[in-house]
A = this chain, B = another copy of it.
Amino acid sequence: MIKISKKSQYGLRAMVCLAKHYRKKEVCSTKLISEIEGIPFDFLEKIISQLERAKLVKGKKGVQGGYILSMPPKKISVNDVVSVLEENKKPVNCALCARIKKCSAKNVWSKLNDSLNKTLNSIKLSDLIK
């Protein structure tokens, strides 16, 4: 039914990692994150650059470069992160629901979606650093 992709899992963990570095205002390199979190480097790079295009993180090029959150951890929710990484992916993409007003299950999926969003919006990166 429901599966959180590795991409989202990795992405969130990377963001938490960046959140931890945020107070020092230091950038953190992809390499370091991948080592700390045990995430395949090449894959992580791809994930982070997606987060960058979405303006959730800022990159600094060159030696001693890396990434830093573009907002304080308090301002970034899990939903912000996950919805970027799972763009154009809705819980249900049902042709029938689109066509028929009264698909019996339609309400179910929209309620599900709401509760999902509510839950993920309520958790901020700041909640995840201890």
Closest to A120 in B: B112
Tell me the bound Cα distance from A128 to B4 in angstroms.
Answer: 27
Of A22-30, A47-55, A82-90, which binds chain B? A82-90
Tell me the bound Cα distance from A85 to B1 in angstroms.
Answer: 8
Whether A3 pairs with B2 at a CB distance below 8 angstroms is yes
Pick the most buried of A4, A78, A83, A91: most chain B CB atoms within 10 A of its CB: A4
Tell me the bound Cα distance from A89 to B109 in angstroms.
Answer: 18
Tell me the bound Cα distance from A123 to B104 in angstroms.
Answer: 12
Binding site for B on A (CB under 8 A): 1-5, 8-9, 12-13, 16-17, 38, 78, 82-83, 85-86, 89-92, 94, 96, 102-105, 107-109, 111-112, 115-116, 118-120, 123, 128-130
